Amino acid sequence: MVIGDWHGPTTMRCAHLLIVSDETVVVDLNTKSRLYGAAGYPVYWVITREAVFEHTRPDGDGYRSVVRYRPEDRIPVPYGDTSVAVADLVGPG
């Protein structure tokens, strides 16, 4: 899922990229995070059954910051001046 103003092959206007991951979690956290970071996506979330991994500060090798949020946490969403409950994303434990 892409949140933002998508205009084709450029990533400059995409504000947020979300992946719901189950069987591909290793690829999503490693290979895809390097590709999306190198492409310049500003925020990349990998949503698993147990946690949300927020990747920020993209650079040529992936992301410089990765934070794991657990179900009891809330993730700040600065561009929306709000936060999201991780429990609402990962479902019941």
Residue with tokens 């998508």: 6
pLDDT digits (tens, 9 = 90+) for 36-84: 999 989 999 999 999 999 999 999 899 999 999 999 999 998 777 899 9
8 A C-beta contact, residue 25 and residue 50 = no
Closest CA to 44 of 6, 71, 7, 14: 14
- Pairing outcome for strands 62-69 and 52-59: antiparallel
Reported confidence tier of residue 93, pLDDT bands at 50, 70, 90: low
Give pLDDT tens digits for 5-41.
545 555 456 778 899 998 999 999 999 999 999 998 9
Residue 25 corresponds to which tokens in the numbers above? 């979690």
Domain residues for the domain of 40 are 2-90
Has this prediction a pTM greater than 0.75?
yes
Give the total number of structural domains in the chain. 1
How confident is the model at residue 16, as a pLDDT? 83
Read off the tokens for 80.
Answer: 């929306």
